[in-house]
Structure 1
Amino acid sequence: MMAHQILVHATTSGGVTTVEALIKHPMDSGFVKGKDGKLIPPHYIEVVEFTHKGKLVLRGFWGPAVSKNPFIRFSFKGGASGDPIGVSWVDNKGETASMSAAIM
């Protein structure tokens, strides 16, 4: 199992919070061959979720077409400086990662 890392940055201005996240994950499609000529098994994030103060604000259903180490940016209404933003994901192998950060 690899070390999964999530980097999150969230800011708020004018009643709108903007969230940016970089998720370290191989996102292998299962259609690419390794140096040995064999297919690399599929390993990709299937569901990613973002919460604000425990309430779901975005759920994404991803698949093998998403690039390695995906970056996502989105905005939602509400949020204040210091409020928690949570992010979690589950991949096709059942691996998970989660973290939270404060809105700046």
Structure 2
Amino acid sequence: MKFRSVSNPVTSTPPGVTPPKRISMRVAEWLLDSPRLGDSPSVKHLAGRLLKQPAREGVVAAQSRLGQLMCRECGNARDRRIGHDLLRQAARAGDDRARRALGEIEG
């Protein structure tokens, strides 16, 4: 019995499907930007967890938002340092929001 190999178009994701990291980023941004939800500490924690993986993968917008969140909301020095590093990376990549946040922190 001979088996056929599966062709590429069947196994590849369709062009209209958004990768999971983009979905988690969009949900995190929606949560943080929501007027009623964005002030809750548990929502900020969830948004931070959703932004963590895209930020590790080098998504500049995720680095910027997570860096701002960690610098403003975290109580310990280690998390603030990590947030500062994320903001620096995003600013180097050209993110204006990260540059402004760094100016506020360092200024």
Fold agreement, TM-score > 0.5: no
* Greater percentage in strand: 1
TM norm structure 1: 0.22
Q: From the CA coordinates, give the structure whose radius of gyration is larger.
A: 2
* Greater percentage in helix: 2
